[in-house]
Amino acid sequence: MAEVVRVAKSLGELERSVMDVLWDADSAMTATAIIACLPNPELKANTILTVLSRLEGKGFVRRVKDGRAAVFSPTASRQDHVAGMLRQVLDDSGDPSAALAHFASSVSPEQADILRGALGGRRERNP
């Protein structure tokens, strides 16, 4: 079972765009490669390097030197990030049981089936 990532801060719009590029990538990317994949490729490299530095400080991105350049990769998957956000919402809700019950009543039948399947597998592993 994947470890749930704690999310200390949410992502800004540009940070989210950069993370979407990194999450969709097959391997680590340079800032130049990230810029080419963004909806607004006119952004300056310094701007993206600043965003990447902030993301690294928040624990979302890992920077590795590759010759003279650096390559960047996410520290966790998109699914781990979302699970961490959900966990934080539950922790901050004041009443996690009520929040979960309300959430469960609001999902589609297909999503309810997915939740049942995930919880059924969890119960078998953790009686």
CATH classification for the domain delimited by 13-74, as one of 3.40.50.740, 1.10.10.10, 1.20.1290.10, 3.40.228.10: 1.10.10.10
**123 closest CA partner among 87, 88, 115, 108:** 115
Residues in the chain: 127
Whole-angstrom Cα distance, residue 31 to residue 102? 41
Mean pLDDT for the chain? 86
Domain boundaries, the chain: 13-74, 78-125
Over residues 57-79, the pLDDT tens digits come to: 999 999 999 888 899 999 999 99
One-letter amino acid of 104: A
Q: Which of 1-15, 63-77, 86-100 has the lowest mean pLDDT?
A: 1-15
Please give the full DSSP string across 78-121, using - where no structure is assigned: HHHHHHHHHHHHHHHSS-HHHHHHHHHHHS-HHHHHHHHHHHHH
One-letter amino acid of 16: R
Residue range 10-31: mean pLDDT, rounded:
93
Please give the full DSSP string across 1-14, using - where no structure is assigned: -PPPPP--S---HH
Please give the model's pTM, rounded to 2 decimal places: 0.75
Q: What is the DSSP letter of 44?
A: -
